[in-house]
Chain A
Amino acid sequence: MNAILTAANLTKAYGSVKALDGLTLEVPEGGVYGVLGPNGAGKSTLFRIWLGLIRPTDGGATVMNEPPGVPRRIGSMIETPRFPPFLTARGVLEWLSLASGLKGDAAEIDGLLARVGLTEAAGRKVRGFSVGMHQRLGVAAALLGRPSMVILDEPTSGMDPNGINEMRALIRSLADNDGVSVVLASHQLAEVQKICDRVAILNRGTLAAEGSVSDLIGGAGGERLRLHVTDPARIAALIGAAAEAQADAILVTLTRSEAPALIRRLAGEGVDIFEARWVGADLEAVFMQETGGQDAR
């Protein structure tokens, strides 16, 4: 496996808080690689280290076999991108193209604006753009200069459903048709499952799980019932080995026909059940299992 991005025992501390805590990870070349994790898991910090925006406190990282911070043709979009508000969409790409040493090629810029669906807004100043339009322009900026790798942090954040579908198709097309390695962070687990080939799940700055999407889902077992309850540890102990306590819920392995009896039993014992739902064998189940049921953002 040829790794385009690596992290070796990577640590980044902000005072006493460790955003990354000895993370070791290798991202293979090609395809779409997803980085998942709840809030504060260290996804954005990891991306910023790879892009040379910040330095690690300890450990090492490489980007295309070189240390981070060496200028190269990497496309990137970190969080919702912002641009000088007085520039038009085309002006933003001209400016970034020049700054990247690409001479502001008009044909490339028009092509990128068309690819992200901003042709009609090309002459409009970005100060009037919606969040979704900023996202689209950010992706176009990331693709300037035909990079061999793009790093996208929440690429569909703020987009409407149509925009999300278009962006998914674009990301998949970049990997499949243009041979671009795409590394993305997203909290849309269904989206990641649809477009990523491999994923890494981060939790509290460490690697909780890594592998191909199909392997991870396969390893998560079958359907489980997720019950949102107070005091999950006590309720899990009450049920026994079939139950696993999470932060604010329990996951119970059982068949669908056994579920009503369990719910009746718990209700009879005075347990407050706020929500009951089946968690399928999907990335969400893997995520819940690996992060203890924290919010995916």
Chain B
Amino acid sequence: MLADAIAAENLRLTRNRATFFWGFLFVPILALCAEIIGRVFMHNQLPPELRAMPVDMSNQLVSAFAEAGGVMTIFLSLIGAAVLFAGDYRWETWRLLTPRASRINLFLAKAVTFAGWALVTVILVGLLDAAVAWIGALMDGNTMTFGLGAGAFVRQMLAVTFVSWIQLLFAGGLAALAATATRSMIAAIMIPIGAMIGLVIAQNRYPVMDAAADWWKILLIPGHAFEHARLYLAGMDTLPGQTLDAAGGLSGMAGIVLWLALGFGGALLVFKRQDLSKE
């Protein structure tokens, strides 16, 4: 049963306190500290007239959740992903599990567990970030506004949260593939980092000038895919300088599906037929 396998993965992950903290809880704490330091710095550096400017809380929230899938979150979430996907090789525990439960369920349980905690991380990072902005505004006596309408706010929040979460899943998928193919926890961290550095270089080397003509860049380079999917899903044509681009958005969504399939699907294919003579 998949639900039982998920419960088992969660039990093991939450009792592995060091991994759980560094992989999923440290980033929200780090984000909180960074935001507080930034606020204090701004408070001390900005002249009083600028400090007193109104704060658009809707914009603060959207920005906080859009940045929740940033580099630091991705890198630290790789720790959690590596332990989840490579742990049974390291502890030689596949031999205990695979005779009793299907390999597909065991793998899916890991993917679902990672996805669940990645979403919790994104929400915590976003909420703490926004909370600090709100407290800072209160302390500075700023006027707080809510610039977005309810519909646009909900849409943008869902879109940026979803894409931030997908960014972590993308990294988790690469970690799953690396862990399964190499059976190594270190490789499950280092290979995705190397791949992501390469993809960032590719993103800068091949910029998207015209989404319709450059659809293949959006499809193949995850950074472009995330950006175009985020803009499309959030309907950010309402913001100055942005235009709603269906071709880019759909290519972005297809790119996301492609990369998640490559990571998690590839890992599952390898694991399903893997020889476990020695984990």
Whether chains A and B associate is yes
Across-interface contacts of A86 in B (CB, < 8 A): 15-18
Q: Which residue of A lies closest to B102 (CB)?
A: A71
Q: Which residues of B contact A278 (CB under 8 A)?
A: none
Identify the closest chain A residue to B7 (Cβ).
A98
Distance in angstroms between the alpha carbons of A103 and B11 in the assembled complex: 12
Q: Which of chain A's residues have a CB closer than 8 A to the CB of B109?
A: 99
A145 to B17, CA, bound (A): 28
B277 within 8 A of A: yes
**In the complex the two chains form, is B100's CB within 8 Å of A74's CB?**
yes
Q: Are A53 and B106 interface neighbours, CB within 8 A?
A: no
- Which interface residue of B5, B11, B94, B99 has the most chain A CB atoms within 10 A? B99
Select the stretch in A34-42, A77-85, A160-168, A187-195 that faces chain B.
A77-85
- Check A87 for interface membership: any CB of B closer than 8 A: yes
A130 to B: closest C-beta gap in Å? 17
Specify which chain A residues have a CB less than 8 angstroms from the CB of B87 in the assembled complex.
Answer: 84
Whole-angstrom CA separation of A85 from B90 in the bound complex:
11
* A100 beta carbon closer than 8 Å to chain B: yes
- Which residues from A are CB-within-8-Å of B17? 86
Q: Which residues of chain B are within 8 angstroms of A99 by Cβ–Cβ distance? A: 4-5, 8-9, 97, 100-101, 106, 109
Alpha-carbon gap, A70 to B18, bound state (A): 35
Contact segment of A89-97, A109-117, A256-264, A283-291: A89-97
CA distance A78 to B98 in the complex (A): 12
Interface members, chain A 104-132 (any B CB < 8 Å): 104
**A76 contacts partner chain B, Cβ-Cβ < 8 Å:** yes
List which A125-163 residues lie within 8 A (CB) of chain B: 141, 145
Check A78/B95 contact, CB under 8 A, given A84-B87, A91-B15, A100-B100.
Answer: yes
B275 interface hit (Cβ, 8 Å)? yes
Candidate in A73, A74, A91, A100 with the most chain B CB atoms within 10 angstroms: A100
Nearest CB of chain B from residue A86's CB, rounded to whole Å: 5
Interface: A254 (CB within 8 A): no
Identify which of A52, A55, A95, A141 gathers the most chain B CB atoms within 10 Å of its CB.
Answer: A95
A contact residues around B182 at 8 Å (CB): none
Asked if B4 and A82 sit within 8 Å, CB to CB, the answer is no
B100 and A54 contacting across the interface, CB-CB below 8 Å: no
**B8 nearest CB across to chain A (Å):** 4
Chain A residues with CB under 8 A of B8: 95-96, 98-99
CA distance in complex: A53, B95 (Å): 7
Judge whether A73 and B100 touch: CB under 8 Å: yes
Residues of A within 8 A of B98 (CB): 51-53
Question: Does A45 reach chain B (CB closer than 8 Å)?
Answer: yes
CB distance from B270 to the nearest CB of A (A): 14
A53 contacts B94, CB within 8 Å? yes
Q: Is A48 an interface residue (CB 8 A)?
A: yes
Asked if B213 is an interface residue, CB under 8 A from chain A, the answer is: no
Q: Which residues of A contact B106 (CB under 8 A)?
A: 99
The docked-state distance in angstroms from the alpha carbon of A100 to that of B17 is: 23
Q: How far is the CA of A103 from the CA of B276 in the complex (A)?
A: 26
Complex: A91 Cα to B12 Cα, angstroms: 8
Nearest opposing residue in chain B for A81, CB measure: B96
**Known contacts A87-B15, A98-B7, A99-B4: A54-B275 contact under CB 8 Å:** yes
Asked whether any CB of chain B lies closer than 8 Å to the CB of A101, the reply is: yes
Among B15, B92, B97, B276, the residue within 8 A (CB) of A54 is B276
CB of B41 within 8 Å of the partner chain: no
* A84→B12 contact, CB < 8 A: yes
Contacting residues, chain A, for B15 (C-beta < 8 A): 86-87, 91
- Which of B5, B7, B12, B100 counts the most A-chain CB atoms under 10 A from its CB? B100
A100 contacts B4, C-beta separation under 8 Å: yes
Question: Nearest B residue to A102 by beta-carbon distance?
Answer: B4
Contacts A/B (CB < 8 Å), 10 sampled:
A48-B276, A53-B276, A55-B273, A74-B100, A76-B96, A84-B91, A87-B15, A96-B97, A100-B100, A145-B100
Known contacts A99-B100, A102-B4; 5 additional CB pairs below 8 A are: A55-B273, A96-B96, A98-B8, A100-B4, A103-B4
> Measuring CB to CB, which residues of chain A are less than 8 angstroms from any residue of chain B?
14, 45, 48, 51-55, 71-74, 76, 78, 81-87, 91, 94-96, 98-104, 141, 145
